[in-house]
Amino acid sequence: VTEDGKPIVKIGYLPTTHAAPLYFMESETDYDIELVRFSSWIDLMDALNAGRIDGASVLIELAMKAKEKGIDIQAVALGHEDGNVVTVAPHIESVDDLIGESIAIPNRYSTHHVYVHQMLEQAGYSIDDVNLVEMAPAEMPSSLSENRVAAYVVAEPFGSIGVSLGVGKVLFQSQDIWPNSIDCALVMRTDFLQRDEEVSKHFVSNYAKAGLLAEHKDEHALTQINSFLKIKDDVLAQSLQWISYEDLTIREEAFDILREAMVDLQLSTNPPTYEDFVNNSYINEVQ
Amino acid sequence: MKNKWISAFIGFAAVIIIWQLVIIIGDYPEALLPGPAAVFAKWWSLVVNGTLFEHISISLYRFTLGYVSAALLAIILGLFLGRLPKVWAIIDPVVQVIRPVSPIAWSPFIVLWFGIGNMPAIVIIFIAAFFPVLLATVAAVNRIEPTYLKVAANFELSQKDLMWKIILPAAFPAIGSGLHMAIGSAWIFLVAGEMIGAQSGLGYLIVDARNALDLDTVLAAIVTIGVIGLALDHLLRFVEAGVKRMWTGKMM
Amino acid sequence: MKNKWISAFIGFAAVIIIWQLVIIIGDYPEALLPGPAAVFAKWWSLVVNGTLFEHISISLYRFTLGYVSAALLAIILGLFLGRLPKVWAIIDPVVQVIRPVSPIAWSPFIVLWFGIGNMPAIVIIFIAAFFPVLLATVAAVNRIEPTYLKVAANFELSQKDLMWKIILPAAFPAIGSGLHMAIGSAWIFLVAGEMIGAQSGLGYLIVDARNALDLDTVLAAIVTIGVIGLALDHLLRFVEAGVKRMWTGKMM
Amino acid sequence: MTQSIIDVQALHKTYPSSNKAVLENVSLTIKRGEIVAFLGKSGCGKTTLLNMIGGFEPASSGDILLDGERVTKPSQKSIMLMQSYGLLPWRTVYHNVLFALENSTLSKAEKHTRVLKGLALVGLSDRLNAMPSELSGGMQQRVAIARALAIEPEIILMDEPFAALDTFTRYFLQDEITKINKEQHMTILLVTHDIDEAIYLADRVIILAPNPGRIYKEVTIQLPRERDRASRDFQHYRELIFNEFHLSHEPPAIEYNI
Amino acid sequence: MTQSIIDVQALHKTYPSSNKAVLENVSLTIKRGEIVAFLGKSGCGKTTLLNMIGGFEPASSGDILLDGERVTKPSQKSIMLMQSYGLLPWRTVYHNVLFALENSTLSKAEKHTRVLKGLALVGLSDRLNAMPSELSGGMQQRVAIARALAIEPEIILMDEPFAALDTFTRYFLQDEITKINKEQHMTILLVTHDIDEAIYLADRVIILAPNPGRIYKEVTIQLPRERDRASRDFQHYRELIFNEFHLSHEPPAIEYNI
Ligand SMILES: Nc1ncnc2c1ncn2[C@@H]1O[C@H](COP(=O)(O)OP(=O)(O)OP(=O)(O)O)[C@@H](O)[C@H]1O
Ligand SMILES: Nc1ncnc2c1ncn2[C@@H]1O[C@H](COP(=O)(O)OP(=O)(O)OP(=O)(O)O)[C@@H](O)[C@H]1O
Ligand SMILES: [Mg+2]
Ligand SMILES: [Mg+2]
């Protein structure tokens, strides 16, 4: 992907709070960056798999699944730390109230699925005690408002939007269920990373720095993020309170918990291992 | 008849050969473009473990409900609106503006009103089928040979007889082609309909398999959808022929 | 003519009143079902800041490319295939199976071959338009009055003259209704087409606004799509009338 | 039998879509049981006149009385045999004829007998289950005749009823029509292009002149029934009407000058 | 002028879709410049015979020679005037006639003159820019006649060419046809339902019998041209042909028994 010799790095994303570090990235002297916005994870993964984009901030489970299927990609950094909430209907007071109800998640291959699983197990139930429904995040607040589902777990800012619309409230934050969880990650195609090691390094380190900019959560950060999300400022501020972009390293312990959960949830029989899939070399260089 | 089957066989054989050639020449990763053999193997495994039939039956259930209710409502409304040009002049522009909007664009409102699961799929299929049938019916009623209306007036038919003995049979061939058009486009929207919170059906199967980058399954489902779509069209032809026989009076 | 406008006005006024009533009676949160005033305000702001026209023009660009190329290719292919019933017998079953499959189901393969951005939108519109026009053209050629072919044979027309002076004009009215059907369904798939990595266009605007739960914009875009769809259909009617005039020879 | 059944008084007709008068000042009295033939150039308004008598088309001015009552809409009293037959293509031959009787008070068996009788008359007893599209033009015309006769109307309005028939069938049906007319005192109004047919069938031949359509001449045919087409008197009427017909057109008809 | 232009030898025809013979053992010789009329009941195979002579329909067995050459496909030498006119509805009247000349070697001006002459002949000079759908049936038939004449073929095959015309126009065109036949030695084959028309026009009338279609009788009309329809001799032929025609049908035609 070059033009006048200067590489263009194409990164796919969905307009969520979780992809915030990307919003602070700018073109440099040795590469240009092009952010490609998608409207659903599935379309984004199609583009990544087909090599039409070089990388993406994506649900890590979808990327692991693609890796398992033989797509040569690797995770080089987290998208964010924490920052997911379980949004429930006003009458839900505890996990017990959710039993037998429908719970919406954005995708089967998502950490949100794992959160639901863990939340239920921690309360002594199993995932089969609720009715899981996959749906587009944008439709979750109205589903909750019309009592089609009793709760939803999804990438921000949709939890925050639900709360601000008054259709739901926060039952848990993700760190209450699974501290230091892994959710979205910056996943890059290996062929891109290997094409020019210097650019790759530079790019990932800029990504980490951008995370720190987002972490400020100040006026400037809010404006910058909202130029991508276009939601109300107070909703975004709420959303940012739940999230951190400080350390975007993918930890092995968390990754192993995730692998195990994926097997438990029958999302995968043989998920890629930490060694195969995670490449911390770039982000380590920054720290 | 036999020739027809041979031709169809040649056609499908050619498609499979071209497909295999594309894979060999294009050198695509198996994960991104599975070959015919892999797709057939997957299809067979879905048949054997029964999941395919489950998905097919739930999809057909949703489709039948959505399509049949749309067709009946559209035909009945259309027969009356076709006879009331002043009312139609008011409704027509609204319909013309609503029709070209994709059911995908409506989905936030469909969720709001109809929730998730079966209903959105049924509603989307309903929408996709309703407008073509309505427009075809109104047009058909408007284009009825004036001669038939003249004959009806000459023999002093009642309003009810006029509707049942003249207008419906006279308009039926044109309504029929509307029904065919609608069965095609409604079936196309099955996939879109089953993306909204459904946890089963052929559309869900495709979306779910796409998530898992399981393109064997996607293609197996595509082929299944195509074949069923074709079968539905033929089924409709039978129904049409049956309806037409109703008023020929060929029973003496 | 004036009556037509008055009727349309009554129709749209009724829709707006019902819409407002639904909001008042249903007591839906404004964010989930915006009222006509809010939608109009949003629409106006999109007009004023010029974004709406940007989206419209890129959508029309993609649509025109996809639709016109599909229509031309389908008509030319259809004219020949209609005259070659043996070849058509081979291709027809394949077409019948491919046609009912949603472009959404194809999208992994569309991305693989055509990438993201403009091309997938153009390709999806192409697919949505191609099959109806092809089928309509083949059917039209097959249904040409044998009398015309007899006349052509009697006056010993060459193959080229036969195609241009007899087959094309005779089949054109039926091809025209295929073109109308196709313009509707292709425009419906604009939204699906602009979901695949496009960064602009009315479809993108809808999906993106939906993701931001900005339903004012979604409805403003829906109305815009509907109105443009209607306008395209009327434009096509002009083109058809123009083409028909070509071979009347009314210029003496 | 001699009382008037149809009374056309100072009829004018202009179609709303054009401002040219199609019919002008047509007055006409027809007695019960009479057969009246209308002759005139194509486009002179014959179909329009029949349509107005049948109640299918409103008059622009003037009156049409049927049995003393003003005609405002079609009725079963006067059945129209249309130029385009008007069969229902989705019904069999049998059910097309039955259609005429469906809202009558006859018993089922009576209806059946009448339908069969009507179809036998026109020679189609063996095609009861055929669809109209499977018949030749002439056969379709005969089904339409059977349907009109089945209801035994007081008046039949016929618009070129035998145009698609071969000579032999035409002659046969012409004889049947005169028979029915005599037996049932049915009044028959008949539009035709065929001078011989008019002379053979009609008690009175009315020649219309075109632009605008008006009555040009009436010729009463004073021949006994069972007329002989080769007879001297027949020849005489043929010549008379041909000449009148010729004269009814504006002489030097420009369009025929090469 | 007396050499034979069409030679039909032992022609049989069965349509593939049915196993009933439509034509059986038809043999026929037609001389250049002759006018031959075919009479026969509806469905007896008249159109089929004309179609085969025109090359539109293959024979099941037997031969058709045109100028000594076997007919295998249609050609410009023999133009067919079809029962359904065969006008191109998307062209104006002018361009429908011009169609016949489009691949001839005439200059543009010559073509124009010929088209205008042909349309003048049939009295349609003032409707050059009309579309066929804007014309009455009779006018359409006249355009088709003009188109066939424009190309000046050796043979014209006419399938009930005057059926939709009123008496007066029909008489006029019958006269024109005999004139053209005399001037250009055009050979004319004519199917008609009208015995008078056959007698007025033809040098020879061929009566076909149905089921299967075969030649039943030939009647040579030995009347001088400018025939008088009211003359004694004309009457004689009329009676003769009517009787033959009657006999050509299997007597007691069952379908006419009520
Ligand atoms: N619905 C109509 N609107 C306007 N003009 C009409 C309409 N119907 C007929 N005309 C005109 O009225 C005139 C008479 O038409 P009509 O059909 O009565 O003629 P006709 O004598 O029956 O001719 P034909 O012998 O060809 O059947 C024609 O000039 C025709 O163009
Ligand atoms: N394409 C066809 N396939 C099968 N049978 C046919 C076909 N065309 C005509 N026939 C049959 O052949 C016979 C002769 O038909 P044809 O059209 O030649 O009759 P015709 O003498 O011209 O009748 P008319 O006077 O009604 O025009 C009829 O019995 C008809 O049913
Ligand atoms: Mg008429
Ligand atoms: Mg014929």
pLDDT tens, residue by residue, B91-122: 988 888 888 888 778 888 888 788 777 888 89
Out of B156, B169, B252, the one facing D129 most closely (by C-beta) is B252
Question: For the complex shown, is ipTM > 0.85?
Answer: no
Q: Between C217 and E134, name the one with better pLDDT.
A: C217
| CA of E40, closest atom in ligand 2 | 21
Cα distances (angstroms) measured from residue B237 to each of A180, B233, C96: 60, 6, 14
Could you give the CA distance from residue D208 to residue D23 in angstroms, rounded to a whole number?
10
Q: Give me the count of residues in chain D.
A: 258
Range of the domain at C41: 34-251
Torsion angle defined by CA atoms of residues B11, B17, B21 and B24, in that order, rounded to the nearest 10 degrees: 150
What subunits make at least 3 CB pairs under 8 angstroms with C? A, B, E
Is E15 touching ligand 2 by the criterion CB < 6 Å?
Answer: yes
Q: Measured between CA atoms, how close is B157 to chain C, in angstroms?
A: 31
Q: Between B202 and A287, name the one with better pLDDT.
A: B202
Whether pLDDT at D1 is above 50:
no
Indicate if B43 and B19 belong to the same structural domain. Answer: no
**H or E element at residue D253:** none
The ligand whose atoms approach the alpha carbon of D82 most closely is: 3
SS3 B239: helix
Question: Which residue in chain E is spatially nearest to C144 when comparing CA positions?
Answer: E88
Best of D18, D42, D113 to substitute, by most chain E Cβ atoms within 10 angstroms, is D42
pLDDT of residue D258: 33
| D54 near B CB under 8 A | yes
How many other C-beta atoms can be found within 10 angstroms of the C-beta atom of residue B90?
A: 19
Indicate if B17 and B58 belong to the same structural domain. Answer: no
Determine which residue's CA is closest to atom 31 belonging to ligand 2: E43
Any idea which of B5-9, C133-137, C167-171, D161-165 has the lowest mean pLDDT? D161-165
pLDDT of residue E20: 82
Best of D73, D85, D88, D91 to substitute, by most chain B Cβ atoms within 10 angstroms, is D88
pLDDT of residue C100: 82
SS3 E105: coil
CA A104 centroid distance within chain: 16
Indicate if B68 and B15 belong to the same structural domain. Answer: no
For residue A104, give both structure tokens. 């919406």
Q: Where are the beta strands (DSSP E) in chain E?
A: 4-14, 21-31, 35-39, 61-66, 69-70, 78-81, 155-159, 187-191, 204-209, 214-220
The neighbouring-strand residues paired with B135 are none
Q: Measured between CA atoms, how close is C197 to chain A, in angstroms?
A: 5
Cα of E23 vs centre of ligand 2, distance in Å, is 10
| A39 near C CB under 8 A | yes
What would the 3-class secondary structure string for chain C be?
A: CHHHHHHHHHHHHHHHHHHHHHHHHHCCCCCCCCCHHHHHHHHHHHHHCCHHHHHHHHHHHHHHHHHHHHHHHHHHHHHHHHHCHHHHHHHHHHHHHHCCCCHHHHHHHHHHHHCCCHHHHHHHHHHHHHHHHHHHHHHHHHCCCHHHHHHHHHCCCCHHHHHHHHHHHHHHHHHHHHHHHHHHHHHHCHHHHCCCCCCCCHHHHHHHHHHCCCHHHHHHHHHHHHHHHHHHHHHHHHHHHHHHHHHHCCCC
Asked if the Cβ–Cβ distance from C157 to E90 is below 8 Å, we say: no
CATH number of the domain to which B147 belongs: 1.10.3720.10
What subunits make at least 3 CB pairs under 8 angstroms with B? A, C, D
pLDDT of residue D147: 92
Q: What angle do CA D5, D6, D9 make, to 5 degrees?
A: 140
Indicate if B59 and B27 belong to the same structural domain. Answer: no
| A34 near C CB under 8 A | no
Indicate if B138 and B150 belong to the same structural domain. Answer: yes
Q: Where are the alpha helices (DSSP H) in chain A?
A: 20-23, 41-49, 60-68, 111-122, 140-145, 158-165, 174-177, 190-195, 197-215, 219-229, 233-241, 252-264, 274-277, 281-286
pLDDT of residue A2: 57
Indicate if C40 and C22 belong to the same structural domain. Answer: no
Is E209 touching ligand 2 by the criterion CB < 6 Å?
Answer: no
Indicate if B46 and B150 belong to the same structural domain. Answer: yes
Cα of D44 vs centre of ligand 1, distance in Å, is 7
Share of chain D above pLDDT 90, in %: 44
CA-nearest of B52, B21, B45 to B35 is B21
If you search the block for the tokens 């009293």, which residue do you land on? D77
Which residues from C are below 8 Å from B112, CB to CB?
Answer: 28, 32-33
Could you give the CA distance from residue D232 to residue C112 in angstroms, rounded to a whole number?
92
If you search the block for the tokens 């039409």, which residue do you land on? A52
What subunits make at least 3 CB pairs under 8 angstroms with D? B, E
Determine contact, residues E241/E199, Cβ cutoff 8 Å: yes
C8-20 pLDDT, tens digit each: 899 999 999 998 9
Share of chain B above pLDDT 90, in %: 32
Determine contact, residues A160/A235, Cβ cutoff 8 Å: yes
| E128 near C CB under 8 A | yes
| A42 near B CB under 8 A | yes
Q: What's the predicted TM-score (pTM) here? A: 0.85
| CA of D40, closest atom in ligand 1 | 21
Asked if the Cβ–Cβ distance from C165 to E54 is below 8 Å, we say: no
Asked if the Cβ–Cβ distance from B206 to C98 is below 8 Å, we say: no
Could you give the CA distance from residue A68 to residue A200 in angstroms, rounded to a whole number?
23
Is D27 touching ligand 2 by the criterion CB < 6 Å?
Answer: no
How many other C-beta atoms can be found within 10 angstroms of the C-beta atom of residue D120?
A: 16
Per DSSP, A109 falls in state S
| B157 near D CB under 8 A | yes
| CA of E45, closest atom in ligand 2 | 18
D56-88 pLDDT, tens digit each: 999 999 999 999 899 999 998 999 988 778 899
Q: b/e per residue, C208-246, with b = 16+ CB within 10 A?
A: bbbbbbbbbbbbbbbbbbbebbbebbeebeeebeeeeee
Strands E187-191 and E155-159: parallel
What subunits make at least 3 CB pairs under 8 angstroms with A? B, C
Indicate if B6 and B87 belong to the same structural domain. Answer: no
If you search the block for the tokens 């003009």, which residue do you land on? E146
| A62 near B CB under 8 A | yes
| CA of D18, closest atom in ligand 1 | 4
SS3 E4: strand
The neighbouring-strand residues paired with A153 are A86
Mutation test residue for ligand 1: of D13, D23, D24, D48, the one with most atoms within 8 Å of CB: D48
Domains, chain E, ordered by start: 4-77+155-248 (3.40.50.300), 86-152 (no CATH)
For residue A63, give both structure tokens. 């990327």
Determine contact, residues E116/E97, Cβ cutoff 8 Å: no
Indicate if C130 and C200 belong to the same structural domain. Answer: yes
B170-220 pLDDT, tens digit each: 999 889 888 988 888 888 888 888 877 778 889 888 888 888 888 889 899
Asked if the Cβ–Cβ distance from D91 to B247 is below 8 Å, we say: yes
Per DSSP, B167 falls in state I
Is E22 touching ligand 2 by the criterion CB < 6 Å?
Answer: yes
Asked if the Cβ–Cβ distance from B97 to C223 is below 8 Å, we say: yes
Best of C151, C164, C165 to substitute, by most chain E Cβ atoms within 10 angstroms, is C151
SS3 D8: strand
Determine contact, residues A64/A277, Cβ cutoff 8 Å: yes
Question: Do chain A and B touch: 3 or more Cβ pairs under 8 angstroms?
Answer: yes
Which residues from D are below 8 Å from B244, CB to CB?
Answer: 90
**H or E element at residue B72:** helix B51-83
Torsion angle defined by CA atoms of residues D212, D213, D217 and D218, in that order, rounded to the nearest 10 degrees: -160
Cα of D136 vs centre of ligand 2, distance in Å, is 9
Asked if the Cβ–Cβ distance from B28 to C112 is below 8 Å, we say: yes
The neighbouring-strand residues paired with E29 are E7
pLDDT of residue A7: 83
Contacts of B232 (CB under 8 A, 6+ apart): B63, B183, B187, C100
For residue C98, give both structure tokens. 């491919």
| CA of D164, closest atom in ligand 2 | 26
CA-nearest of E14, E24, E12, E28 to E209 is E24
Q: Give me the count of residues in chain C.
A: 252
CA E146 centroid distance within chain: 14
Asked if the Cβ–Cβ distance from B155 to D151 is below 8 Å, we say: yes
pLDDT in tens, chain E (258 residues): 457 899 999 999 998 877 788 899 999 999 999 999 999 887 788 989 999 999 999 999 999 999 989 999 999 899 998 877 889 988 999 999 999 998 888 999 999 999 999 999 888 888 888 888 888 777 888 899 999 989 889 999 998 888 777 777 788 888 888 988 888 889 999 998 888 899 999 999 999 988 888 999 999 999 988 888 878 888 889 888 888 877 776 543 444 433
User: Dihedral of CA D66/D67/D72/D76: which sign?
Assistant: negative
The ligand whose atoms approach the alpha carbon of D159 most closely is: 3
For residue B14, give both structure tokens. 């050619």
Q: Mean pLDDT over all residues of chain A?
A: 85
Strands A73-78 and E35-39: unpaired
Determine which residue's CA is closest to atom 2 belonging to ligand 1: D15
Which residues from C are below 8 Å from B187, CB to CB?
Answer: 100
CA-nearest of D50, D9, D39 to D209 is D39
Q: Between C30 and D11, name the one with better pLDDT.
A: D11
- Phi/psi region, residue B213 (left: phi>0; alpha: psi -120 to 50; beta: rest), is left
Cα of E122 vs centre of ligand 4, distance in Å, is 23
Q: Measured between CA atoms, how close is A106 to chain C, in angstroms?
A: 12
User: With 0-12 CB in 10 A as exposed, 13-18 as middle and 19+ as buried, what is B192?
Assistant: buried
Total domains present in chain C: 2
Could you give the CA distance from residue C105 to residue B93 in angstroms, rounded to a whole number?
32
pLDDT of residue B1: 60
| D133 near B CB under 8 A | no
| D242 near E CB under 8 A | yes
Which residues from C are below 8 Å from E149, CB to CB?
Answer: none
Indicate if B25 and B95 belong to the same structural domain. Answer: no
Indicate if C26 and C116 belong to the same structural domain. Answer: no
pLDDT of residue D251: 43
Indicate if B178 and B54 belong to the same structural domain. Answer: yes
Could you give the CA distance from residue A233 to residue A222 in angstroms, rounded to a whole number?
7
